[in-house]
Amino acid sequence: MLCTQGVATLLILISLLLQLARANLPPGCLSASDILSCSSLGLEHIPVELPVTAATLDFNHNRLTKLEEGSFAGLPHLDTLRLAHNRLTRISPGTFKNTSHLRHLDLSSNQLHILEHHYFQELVCIEELLLFNNRITRVESKALTSLSNLRKAYLSHNRLTDFPFFSIQEHSHPFLGTLDLSSNRITRLPLEDIAALPVSVQRGLFLHNNTLICECSMYSMFRHWEQKDFISAKEYREEHTCLVYGERRASIRFFQHTRFFENCTLNFQGTSGDTESSLLAYVGDSVLLECQTSLKGQHLIYQWVSPHQGYIAPPGNNGTLRMHPNGSLEILAAQVEDTGVYWCMVQDRHQLRNETRELNVTVTLRRHEVEHFNTGFTTLLGCVVSLVLVLMYLYLTPCRCWCRKQPPPATPSPANECSAQSSILTPTPPATTEGPGRKVSNNKHVVFLEPIKEAQNGRPRAALASEHPKLQVLRSDADSVTSVFSDSPIVP
């Protein structure tokens, strides 16, 4: 009984505390569970008191001009903070103090001019940083140094003329996979610094819609990315432009107008820390891809990226790929569709380092089997067919009339009779036929056998029949004459 009363009292106290906390919120704020939304309320300052349990704060579309120190202190569960579409021009030091668990920060569509080094020092767990559509002209070299867990950074649609690429080298950002610097005012790129970036960063480095000057070195780098099938070069081919001789009026899409770079030598070299190798495999074989790395220790995390941009983690996926504890990837039954570039990424969470390996796999049919079928079998078949045709020509050629024994010439018959030698196969019936009741088909190509020495009743004489045995076969009880090639008899 006492326990029940204690629980009821505790619930009442919690309800009173929540009501008290809500009483200090600006009118119009909506609170549900661990989400607080105060968007589109015209706020000029962050409320002093915020719900302690809040994990997501939404202050989009307000009139905030500055973030003060400790604005979000006392929020141990804060995970997502949205401050887009405000008028922020500066972030005070210590603004994100005691918000180390913050993972998503949206500062897009504001009026920030410079990213100072102290802005994000406390955000050691930040993974996604949205800064696009501001007025940023400069990023200080240490502005992103402490963001070791950063995965995605969006700085497009600003006024940047350069970027400190050297600040994200040497495995300082092992998880960084997307860096969007598109739609800025960058004219020249520090190619050596970009080449020293991990391949995982280069694959997600977006530089389209800048004011780049057309140079062979710049063109060589983008062509290299295109050959490697990087998303930045593949998905935005038409938006990669450069200025011929630096003239803004002479902007060209250099992926399409290659004639301006015909004399260029494509010699862009990637990062020296990342190796590339090739492997030839055959259809149906089991292929093992080794992930070679210089990192040592028991806290390494391996991850593969397939040619189809699919991430592969232990133990594998779809029953066709299998990952081993040492990080190697096995293709169980290789197919032609498995051809492409595979990426192995090794991460050391303790030392905050990573390495990337590239392996180009080509899967094809076994060459000797294909050649055996195409050459050996085809040649043998051709010889057999040729031999058969030669034998048919030698032994199955019809015997011509001159090779037969010619019968002695007979006495010419009258005009209305035919001799034995005139017994021929004619493709068309004679114009006039003798004998009563003889019928001729007009619509069929029929071959007729003309009678020999007919008597008055149309029968052939016995003497001629004995001289010509073939004529006896044509006699029947009805003394009818049949067509040699016609299915229907012709009865006189």
DSSP per position, 232-248: HHHTTGGG-EEEGGG-G
Query: Are the C-beta atoms of 216 and 265 separated by less than 8 Å?
Result: yes
pLDDT at 170: 65
Angle at 196 between CA 194 and CA 199, to 5 degrees: 85
pLDDT truncated to tens, each residue of the chain (492 aa)?
A: 445 555 555 554 454 455 444 447 889 999 988 999 999 999 999 998 899 999 999 999 999 999 999 899 889 999 999 999 999 999 999 999 888 899 999 999 999 999 999 999 899 999 999 999 999 999 999 999 989 899 999 999 999 999 999 998 767 788 898 999 999 999 999 999 998 888 889 989 999 999 999 988 899 999 989 888 888 888 898 999 999 887 777 888 988 887 888 778 766 655 444 445 677 888 888 888 888 777 777 778 888 888 776 778 777 776 788 888 888 888 888 888 888 878 787 877 666 667 777 788 888 887 554 445 556 667 778 888 888 888 887 777 565 555 555 565 555 544 444 443 433 344 444 444 444 444 444 444 444 444 444 444 444 444 444 444 443 444 444 444 344 444 444 444
Same domain, 115 and 39: yes
Backbone angles phi, psi at 32, to 5 degrees: -145, 115
* Residue 375 counted as domain residue: no
Distances (CA, A) of 92 to 115, 135, 138, 140, 417: 11, 18, 17, 16, 130
Distances (CA, A) of 341 to 277, 304, 393, 418: 10, 11, 58, 88
pLDDT at 9: 56
Return the beta strands (E) in 193-323 as ranges: 205-206, 241-243, 251-253, 276-282, 287-289, 300-305, 311-312, 316-317, 321-323
Cα 289 to the center of its chain, rounded Å: 21
pLDDT at 403: 53
Whichever domain contains 68, its CATH number is 3.80.10.10
**Dist CA 132 CA 111 (whole Å):** 10
Nearest to 174 by CA among 310, 301, 355, 359: 355
Whichever domain contains 291, its CATH number is 2.60.40.10
Same domain, 249 and 290: no
Same domain, 257 and 291: no
Strands 425-426 and 251-253: unpaired
* Residue 147 counted as domain residue: yes
pLDDT at 205: 95
Same domain, 31 and 89: yes
Nearest to 246 by CA among 213, 217, 216: 213
Same domain, 57 and 188: yes
- Report how many domains make up the chain: 3
Give the up-direction half-sphere exposure of residue 285: CA atoms within 13 A in the CB hemisphere.
Answer: 15
Same domain, 229 and 281: no
Residue after which a domain boundary falls, among 261, 286, 314:
261
Query: Are the C-beta atoms of 151 and 130 separated by less than 8 Å?
Result: no
pLDDT at 25: 87
pLDDT at 43: 94
**Dist CA 402 CA 397 (whole Å):** 14
**Dist CA 210 CA 241 (whole Å):** 7
**Dist CA 37 CA 366 (whole Å):** 63
Tokens coding 273: 């820390």
Residue after which a domain boundary falls, among 347, 367, 387:
367
pLDDT at 362: 85
Range of the domain at 155: 26-261
Same domain, 110 and 234: yes
pLDDT at 37: 95
Same domain, 58 and 200: yes
**Dist CA 134 CA 156 (whole Å):** 8
Q: Give counts: helices (H), strands (E), the chain.
A: 9, 26
Residue after which a domain boundary falls, among 227, 261, 295:
261
Sign of the CA dihedral 361, 238, 152, 269?
Answer: positive
**Dist CA 134 CA 108 (whole Å):** 6
Listed in sequence order, the residues at least 6 apart from 392 whose beta carbon sits closer than 8 Å to its beta carbon are: none
pTM score over 0.85: no
Identify the bridge partners of residue 253 per DSSP, sorted by sequence position: 241
* Residue 356 counted as domain residue: yes
Distances (CA, A) of 317 to 180, 321, 342, 420: 30, 6, 15, 89
**In this structure, what is the dihedral angle of CA atoms 120, 121, 127, 132, given to the nearest 10 degrees?**
20
* Residue 372 counted as domain residue: no
pLDDT at 61: 97
